[in-house]
Structure 1
Amino acid sequence: MTTPRGRVRIGISGWRYAPWRGVFYPEGLAQRRELEYASRCFHSIEINGTFYSLQRPESFRLWRDETPDEFVFAVKGSRFLTHLKRLKDVETPLASFCAQGLLALGPKLGPILWQLPPNFRFDAQRLRGFFELLPTDTTQAEKLARRREVTLMKGRSVLKAKGEHALRHALEVRHESFLVPECTALLREFNIALVVADTARKFPFVGDVTADFVYIRLHGDEELYASGYGDEALDTWARRIRTWRTGGVPNDVPRIERTRPARRPRDVYCYFDNDAKVRAPFDARGLMKRLGG
């Protein structure tokens, strides 16, 4: 009898890096075709530009059209909300974030990643207020997008989704104060994944399952954003992912809580962010190979 299992998507964080040209990307490949090429190599890619600034609708439409039908994007949440506003009084900027073109991705819109700064301490009340604003499906996202900052978003908004589907959110924390059961309980209440982040021991590394999917970011196991993953490390991550996708919990990943979640298949998203020395795309390929492509 086959064990039920979720879908695994392995990918990279961003795709436009000059050092990758002629190393990962074939020599002479036009820059405008890099996403087309990368999306044929991986199941998913994180869009990083949305972290730094609002993008334009035509960019999202282009990204949608350049990628295969089964491809999925993860979208990194705006640092204006997480780092500058620090999740306080963010309804209007969150609406503008949703209106910038996310809805144009249609079914290719995957999880939305919210990365908190290292000096952001756990604040249950502030987090709850933010989580209550997050849309859980495209219908809610449409309603929220209409509350955008109209002047800022004039002529650059998408307010209608291409199809209706659920939305997923993941939270990447970087302060030890989050390592309390109150945090995991809050995330579980809103079905938000606590990101499993490998950061060369610089930031918290925990694997509590708090949602119906698992979100992994591999920033480098020895040097942040730079070091590659060797055969042993990739074997380890492949084993962990097999466990998560069938509803289990790896015993070698620290957890905040002792209790184990109900066993059910879970989708797994895993992104390599060790791009500085052109390791990410090759490590992603290595992990995909171990998991059957």
Structure 2
Amino acid sequence: MDDLFATAARPDDATTARIHVGTGGWVYAPWRGGAFYPEKLVQRRELEYASRQLTAIEINGTYYGAQKPATYAKWRDETPPGFLFTAKAPQRIMASRRLAGTGAQVEDFVGGIAELGDRLGALLWQFDRGQSPALDELAAFLDLLPERAGGRRLRHALELRDAALFTPALLELLRARNVALVFAGSDEHPSWADLTADFGYARLMQSRADLAEGYPGRELDEWARRARQWAGGGDPDDLPHLGGVQAPAAAREAFVFFIAGAKERNPAAAQALIARL
């Protein structure tokens, strides 16, 4: 059984090593019984297994409720060196009617999740449909997000789902604060790929149940190319941009997650992309 927990091969060149690929969460019943998790694998070892097949996981459960610091420390210790988590901020923060007053809640969330240590890749701050903060409100909220925690620099990513919020002024705001604009690979949400930080963040939401790897091979090839461009300092010109393609810049980290869609296919999609890298 322990042979199942050998860490899968990681990219061995500097550019692709900066690319982190995975799924949203790791607890999902249809992934069991041989679909992704081996038959008879006990649930308490699922993170241990998943973190050796993928290079990142976005923690979605934190959106519904933060965990105790000891739980984050346990997750950290179950994963191999080089593996990264990202995590969605709690809904109670994101749905607040007075964002500028959530400082204590932000500090509480960040203080706990800092226990992930060097496994913490980024924090995702997602405003859902119907949550449309004015630009000055958003600026005041972003000012609450700490730059460091537990002695480590933090990365922050922002996902918006109100098309009216996507303006050149938004890009200027995010770039001034080094906050990444999330690219939503979706036909239901606004999807803009403008780079606004020293890392990129994509959440791909269109996996198909009738495809074993969730996406056609050519689409996975395209995402492997785009991820390499991001990591190498480039900006893929075949993705939609609100403010135009950026000139080549310094190397950056890149996160690509397969979320929603035909969720049962997402681990295979992530593994197929990792294989292409």
Q: TM-score, normalised by structure 2?
A: 0.88
Letter of the 1:17 counterpart? Y
Partner in structure 2 of residue 185 of structure 1:
172
C-alpha RMSD of the superposition: 2.0
Residue 258 of structure 1: SS of its match in structure 2?
A: coil
Task: Give the C-alpha shift of residue 274 in structure 1.
Answer: 3.0
> Aligned in 2, Cα 1:233/1:247: closer, same or farther, shift over 3 Å?
same
**Gaps spanning 5+ residues in structure 1: where?**
139-160
Matched, 1:42 2:28: no
CA distance in 1, matches of 2:49, 2:120: 19
> Aligned in 2, Cα 1:277/1:70: closer, same or farther, shift over 3 Å?
closer
Letter of the 1:13 counterpart? G
**Gaps spanning 5+ residues in structure 2: where?**
1-12
1:272 to 254, 258, 261: 258
Matched, 1:194 2:206: no
> Aligned in 2, Cα 1:261/1:211: closer, same or farther, shift over 3 Å?
farther
CA distance in 1, matches of 2:233, 2:269: 24
CA distance in 2, matches of 1:239, 1:210: 20
> Aligned in 2, Cα 1:129/1:261: closer, same or farther, shift over 3 Å?
farther
Alpha-carbon displacement from aligned partner over 1:90-122 (angstroms, at most 9, x marks no partner): 1121122123x2121111111000111111225
CA distance in 2, matches of 1:47, 1:89: 25
Whether the 8 Å CA contact 1:209–1:261 is kept in 2: the answer is: no
Matched, 1:105 2:119: no
Partner in structure 2 of residue 59 of structure 1:
71
Letter of the 1:121 counterpart? S
Whether the 8 Å CA contact 1:122–1:177 is kept in 2: the answer is: no
Matched, 1:242 2:253: no
CA distance in 2, matches of 1:260, 1:110: 23
Identity %: 42
Whether the 8 Å CA contact 1:10–1:42 is kept in 2: the answer is: yes
Partner in structure 2 of residue 209 of structure 1:
195
Task: Give the C-alpha shift of residue 87 in structure 1.
Answer: 2.6
Task: Give the C-alpha shift of residue 245 in structure 1.
Answer: 1.4
| Aligned pairs, number | 260
User: Residues 1-293 of structure 1 correspond to what in structure 2 (within 5 A)?
Assistant: 5=15, 7-22=18-33, 23-85=35-97, 87-99=99-111, 101-138=112-149, 161=150, 164-199=151-186, 201-220=187-206, 228-258=214-244, 260-274=246-260, 276-291=262-277
Task: Give the C-alpha shift of residue 263 in structure 1.
Answer: 1.9
Q: TM-score, normalised by structure 1?
A: 0.84
Task: Give the C-alpha shift of residue 5 in structure 1.
Answer: 3.6
Whether the 8 Å CA contact 1:36–1:67 is kept in 2: the answer is: yes
Whether the 8 Å CA contact 1:228–1:274 is kept in 2: the answer is: no
Alpha-carbon displacement from aligned partner over 1:129-151 (angstroms, at most 9, x marks no partner): 1111101112xxxxxxxxxxxxx
CA distance in 1, matches of 2:51, 2:207: 25
CA distance in 1, matches of 2:115, 2:132: 34
